[in-house]
Amino acid sequence: MTVLIAISGVIFALSATLAVIRVVLGPTVLDRMIAADVLLTIVLLVVGAEMVVSGHTRNLVVMLVIAVSASIATIAVSRFVSQRPVESQPAEQQEADR
């Protein structure tokens, strides 16, 4: 069981590191938002894994708040991006839209 927990921790840490790198280096707002969603999902999974290992359900409210905030943030960013004029979008995005 300890080996499984260690492997899970390494996988969570590696994936969180890659998501943070994508948040920092993402060329567009949508790339950054997707990476932030992935990062929040990883946090959600870590909290869930901690509950399974510890055998309690005290963090269900925390998980619910994380999930709702990720959903609201995704909706807000998608509305923001959809309302931007084409001139303010990066050149790569304009090429991809054609």
Q: pLDDT tens per residue, the chain (98 residues)? A: 899 999 999 999 999 999 999 999 988 888 999 999 999 999 999 999 999 999 999 999 999 999 999 999 999 988 888 887 766 666 666 555 55
CATH numbers and ranges of domains, the chain: 2-83 (1.10.287)
User: Can you list the alpha helix ranges (DSSP code H) found in the chain?
Assistant: 2-25, 29-54, 60-83, 91-97
In angstroms, rounded to a whole number, what is the distance separating the alpha carbons of residues 81 and 98?
17
Instruction: Enter the pTM of the model.
Output: 0.78
